[in-house]
Amino acid sequence: MTVAMQNLDAVREALPEPAKDLRLNLQSVLASERLGPEQVWGVALASACFVREPRLREAILADARAAGVPDAVIDDARAAAALMGMNTVYYRFRHLVGKESYQHRPARLRMTRMARPASSKVNFELFSLACAALAGCEACVKAHEGILLQQGLTEEHAHDAVRIAAVIHGVAVALAI
């Protein structure tokens, strides 16, 4: 898939020389052969929102819109980033503490959007997996990767989504150096 990314090109050019590899990586990971354009842009946007880098987020958003990504996908990417901002803290805490007593307590955290996304369940799960990987939440990564496989995607799809998230995070870090 060829990806037009006029706004991201400006961000790529702003990367300092020590981050030269990220210029190339950003272009290559967004040219996924397995993920569709909506999934690529949604994963990239969810990741940029999750790492809170406004220049990167706005460039991805502008390029996604220019590529014709529907508002439902954009809204789901934003919702996934926000919900995973909450979930990765809560579920990582439960996992790290490791006490059985916490496993039996209900989370009582509203997550309706995960069950009823605006675009599709598969898209939302991809976006959530990317954010879970960024947060390093083992429980969330396993849960979202498992759902993706149940929904008919492959490990290669999950791998591509996490590669996009990793590069987006690297670019966000590079913009701050």
Q: Which of 140, 148, 167, 172 is catalytic?
A: 140
Question: Which residues 6+ apart lie within 8 Å of 101 measured at CB?
Answer: none
49 has catalytic annotation: no
Helix, coil or strand: residue 30: coil
Are 161 and 129 contacting, i.e. CB atoms less than 8 angstroms apart?
A: yes
Q: Please give the C-alpha separations between residue 4 and each of 57, 65, 66, 140, 153, in angstroms, as whole numbers.
A: 16, 11, 9, 32, 25
Q: Please give the C-alpha separations between residue 133 and each of 117, 128, 159, 176, in angstroms, as whole numbers.
A: 20, 9, 11, 21
140 has catalytic annotation: yes
* Residue 145 token pair: 């990767």
Q: Which of 3, 35, 131, 137 is catalytic?
A: 137
Active site residues: 137, 140
